[in-house]
Amino acid sequence: MQHWEYSDFFYATSPGYFTLFVLALSKMFDRDPRSAGFQSLRTALEQEGKPEVAAQIEAALTPLRPKVKRIMEIRSQSVVHNSFGLSRDDIYKANGITIDEIRDLVDATCQCISRVAAALDIQGHALASERTANATLRMLAGLKASLQHTRD
């Protein structure tokens, strides 16, 4: 970012965003039947007469289980429980997941959500468009404009 006035903000808040990201992603893969994750979603799809969509989700996510397990370990060790005697870097190294693997997991998660939305004829959800990216760009443009206004 070219404007230090708000690039410092994003740099400083990055760990918080990453923590929220890990929590949100791990929540989707929580196997507790009381949580509203993919396991519960597959059950609900079957009950709603959409077993083929449930099977597609299962097929898409099964190969990702090792990556999911590593994200869940990071969540447990550094976000939820904070393992005693281990630094955050140690936890990430021990669980050995790369940015590309996290991206694959996020992409698969988004594709599954979009597949379910399409099967249920849900339109206009945020993942179906560039809505969230455009909102971020608009916010940055607004920040830039307000910075220029305060300088004038």
Domain boundaries, the chain: 4-151
Q: Please state the φ and ψ torsions of residue 18, each to the nearest 5 degrees.
A: -65, -40
Report phi then psi at 106, rounded to 5.
-65, -45
Across the range 129-146, mean pLDDT stands at 79
3-class SS of residue 87: coil
What's the full length of the chain, in residues?
Answer: 152
pLDDT digits (tens, 9 = 90+) for 54-112: 999 999 999 999 988 888 888 888 777 766 777 777 777 888 888 788 888 888 888 89
- Helical segments of the chain, H only: 4-28, 38-47, 51-61, 65-74, 88-95, 99-119, 131-151
pLDDT higher at 28 or 5: 28
d(CA 98, CA 94): 12
Distance from the Cα of residue 132 to its chain's centroid:
13
